[in-house]
Structure 1
């Protein structure tokens, strides 16, 4: 990103039926806006069982931010709420 501000498109902040998948840049920006790091995002979303130190949840977050795997809507919506965009899943 090199310090540039990434705009999050309004199409990514809609209820699931009208939602457009965010780009990896948008995912990284949303995570930045939450103030969390990848491990914290994984923990917040329940991607790792408690006590599991394998890092698998963080790996999932890295796959989203690298564009290897699309982020699920539910995870995006919870992150958007945490970042201050409100309840995007409500019409």
Structure 2
């Protein structure tokens, strides 16, 4: 029997780069890659990394190298977390619906 563990992504990792973005921890990168449902090698191809890009993904997860904002933003979008570079995340959209505010968040 396997246990499916989900890691919560910190809100400060899901904001535009110029609005206080904090780099995700390795476990957060791993969670986003898990949510995408592709292998590290396939994710690396999508990001346009080198032939050995799967190694780079592993380095981000192990925190041997920091992930850059553009790669993180693309991964978040692929994982369904929203277009963080525009300040439109799944959490922001849910908050707008719950509060009934007039925000113009796209779905």
Q: TM-score range by the shorter chain?
A: 0.7 to 0.9
Question: Counterpart of 2:23?
Answer: 21
Which protein, 1 or 2, shows the higher relative CO under an 8 Å CA cutoff with sep ≥ 6?
A: 1
Query: Which residue of 75, 80, 89 corresponds with 2:85?
Result: 89
Root-mean-square deviation over aligned CA pairs = 1.2
| Partner-residue secondary structure (3-state), 1:14 | coil
TM-score (norm 2): 0.74
TM-score (norm 1): 0.86
Q: How many residues align?
A: 84
Question: Counterpart of 1:9?
Answer: 10
* 1:37 to partner: Cα distance: 1.0
* Alpha-carbon distance in 2 for matches of 1:5, 1:45: 23
Computing the radius of gyration over CA atoms, which structure comes out larger, 1 or 2?
Answer: 2
Consecutive unaligned residues of structure 2, counting only runs of 5 or more, are: 88-107
* 1:3 to partner: Cα distance: 3.7
* Aligned: 1:78 with 2:74: yes
* Alpha-carbon distance in 1 for matches of 2:73, 2:84: 6
* Alpha-carbon distance in 2 for matches of 1:33, 1:47: 20
* Alpha-carbon distance in 2 for matches of 1:16, 1:36: 25
Question: Counterpart of 1:34?
Answer: 36
* Alpha-carbon distance in 2 for matches of 1:80, 1:4: 18
**Hey, which bits of structure 1, 4+ residues long, moved more than 3 A?**
none
